Amino acid sequence: MADTLHTPTETLHDTLLRMGEQARTASAALAKAGPAGRTVAILAMADALTAATGDILAANADDLAGGKEKGLSDAMMDRLALDEGRVASIADALRAVADLPDPVGTEIARWTVPSGLDIARVRTPLGVIGIIYEARPNVTADAAALCIRSGNAAILRAGSESLQSSIAIANALRAGLAKVDLPQDAVQLVQTKDRAAVGHMLSGLNGNMDVIVPRGGKGLVERVQAEARVPVIGHLEGLCHTYVDKGADPQKAIDITVNAKMRRTGICGATETLLIDQAVAADLLPAIAAALTDAGCTMKGDDAARALVANIEPATEEDWRTEYLDTIISVRVVDGVEGAMAHIEEYGTSHTECIITEDEATAEKFLAEVDSGIVIHNASTQFADGGQFGMGAEIGIATGRIHARGPVGAEQLTIFKYMVRGTGQTRP
């Protein structure tokens, strides 16, 4: 991968510009390869990844040593760590992406207009996609595969703590592409920890960066908002809410809340705030709180919640705005579904919200009026996942307002064009 590493004779900006040009050229080859060619490419990437297991684990050992020195949390070290089983899982995930339907060229709609023109809306790749993500080595492979599946070239920027692992994985993916005679530069990884590289990506690489997909916390988000000169499909934090309505089934309220918070606390679909209807708070909150406590969850709440449950700590205003990604939940008593929706509008991040109720009218009101990418009735917010939606793999959950909301899979990494077939029509 030496060709994408910047050299002493080249500035970092020039390196990125060159990567953009290489990506643009590669994306044309990817388009011509067609669905079958892209499937073969992803399978070759999977095989090459498996073959490179030794190199990847050696590189990962370097990252882990660096992470230990840097004092990363146990959770971060765990996300960073690879072993043979995890590398095999990453390769399996690539094979699953190879099995996904290829979205490029599919007709979304086709109709004939009175002039006789036959008009088809057909999916096309976005072009060159820049993906900026955290220190999770698997994302390098997942993101690259989804880009190839959707006919896009990828320029990847991995979290610095995972750089060596990511380079090793990207090298393997590129070797796989080369094996099937596709340009390696369809997958390129930024090979420096220098954060200036992010700025260069956000600047648009002279027109050779079509879309940026940022995955990360508030710092990245703010930087992207301030600096991006290209379209962004934002993946911001998931400050998800579960609202227990007065019409809730008590057992569902307990089971869903505990699952939504505690199944995995580190994912963006984990519930961070429990809202409970004042009409049933006295009846239901003690049992829900006991179940959360049994599951190892700490609670912070408003005065009304604390008056009902002894072991709820006081919540500050900041708590309602905090994505804990941990075994902590904030709890607030609200005035019915209107109160819940007002809280979500004020503090939510438009990711995923759930209502628990047996009252269909209230549920439908919540689903219609809450303005989040995913709104759920009577199921855990942890279902906010492309795989659970039947979409196969995903890059993440989009929280912006244009192009796509919710899970971003291969289909969401495409756009469309109109193919118009005439028989000599001129416009009167």
**423 lines the binding site for a second copy (CB under 8 A):** yes
**7 lines the binding site for a second copy (CB under 8 A):** no
Asked if 262 and 297 count as a contact pair (C-beta separation under 8 A), the reply is yes
| Residue 137 φ/ψ, nearest 5 degrees | -55, -35
Q: Which stretch binds a second copy (CB under 8 A): 73-81, 184-192, 281-289, 373-381?
A: 373-381
CA count, 13 A, side-chain hemisphere, 212: 28
How many binding residues for a second copy (CB under 8 A)? Answer: 69
> Binding marks (x or -) toward a second copy, 162..201, rule CB under 8 A?
----------------------------------------
Out of 95, 223, 252, 321, point to the residue binding a second copy (CB under 8 A): 252
Q: Which stretch binds a second copy (CB under 8 A): 130-138, 172-180, 256-264, 295-303?
A: 256-264
Count of C-beta atoms within a 10 Å radius of residue 79: 20
Out of 17, 30, 31, 168, point to the residue binding a second copy (CB under 8 A): 31
Asked if 257 and 242 count as a contact pair (C-beta separation under 8 A), the reply is yes
Which residue number, 62 or 249, has a Cβ lying nearer to a second copy?
A: 249
Which residue number, 80 or 220, has a Cβ lying nearer to a second copy?
A: 220
**65 lines the binding site for a second copy (CB under 8 A):** no
Count of C-beta atoms within a 10 Å radius of residue 305: 23
Q: Which residues pair with 314 in a beta bridge?
A: 301
For tokens 């954060």, name the residue: 195
**263 lines the binding site for a second copy (CB under 8 A):** yes
Nearest CA to 363 out of 220, 266, 268, 245 is that of 245
Between the alpha carbon of residue 41 and those of residues 44, 144, 175, 249, the distances in Å are 5, 11, 10, 49
Q: Which residues pair with 125 in a beta bridge?
A: 414
**124 lines the binding site for a second copy (CB under 8 A):** yes
Asked if 276 and 333 count as a contact pair (C-beta separation under 8 A), the reply is yes
Q: How far apart are CA 29 and CA 73, in angstroms?
A: 42
Q: Which stretch binds a second copy (CB under 8 A): 112-120, 154-162, 274-282, 326-334?
A: 112-120
**420 lines the binding site for a second copy (CB under 8 A):** yes
**303 lines the binding site for a second copy (CB under 8 A):** no
**259 lines the binding site for a second copy (CB under 8 A):** yes
**376 lines the binding site for a second copy (CB under 8 A):** yes
**211 lines the binding site for a second copy (CB under 8 A):** yes
**232 lines the binding site for a second copy (CB under 8 A):** yes
Out of 35, 66, 105, 339, point to the residue binding a second copy (CB under 8 A): 105
Between the alpha carbon of residue 40 and those of residues 2, 45, 229, the distances in Å are 25, 9, 34
Out of 277, 382, 393, 395, point to the residue binding a second copy (CB under 8 A): 382
Which residue number, 63 or 394, has a Cβ lying nearer to a second copy?
A: 394
**296 lines the binding site for a second copy (CB under 8 A):** no
Out of 134, 249, 283, 302, point to the residue binding a second copy (CB under 8 A): 249
Query: 32-66 b/e with 16+ CB inside 10 Å = b?
Result: ebeeebbbbbbbbbbbbbbebbeebbebbeebbeb
Query: In angstroms, what is the minimal distance from the CB of 45 to a second copy?
Result: 25
**415 lines the binding site for a second copy (CB under 8 A):** yes
**325 lines the binding site for a second copy (CB under 8 A):** no
Q: How far apart are CA 16 and CA 190, in angstroms?
A: 8
Q: How far apart are CA 57 and CA 305, in angstroms?
A: 48
**424 lines the binding site for a second copy (CB under 8 A):** yes
User: Which amino acid appears at position 400 of this protein?
Assistant: G
* DSSP H or E segment with residue 225: helix 218-227
Q: Which residues pair with 157 in a beta bridge?
A: 132
**339 lines the binding site for a second copy (CB under 8 A):** no
Out of 46, 64, 126, 289, point to the residue binding a second copy (CB under 8 A): 126
CA triple 25-31-36, angle to 5 deg: 135
Report the greatest alpha carbon distance in the chain.
79
CA triple 229-231-233, angle to 5 deg: 135
Token pair listed for 173: 């993916």
Asked if 244 and 275 count as a contact pair (C-beta separation under 8 A), the reply is yes
Which residue number, 178 or 419, has a Cβ lying nearer to a second copy?
A: 419
Q: Which stretch binds a second copy (CB under 8 A): 76-84, 106-114, 160-168, 289-297?
A: 106-114
> Binding marks (x or -) toward a second copy, 150..169, rule CB under 8 A?
--------------------
**111 lines the binding site for a second copy (CB under 8 A):** yes
Interface residue list for a second copy (CB under 8 A): 31-32, 105, 111, 113-115, 117, 119, 124, 126-127, 210-211, 225-226, 229, 231-233, 249, 251-252, 255-256, 258-260, 263, 363, 367-369, 371-380, 382-383, 388-390, 400-407, 415-427
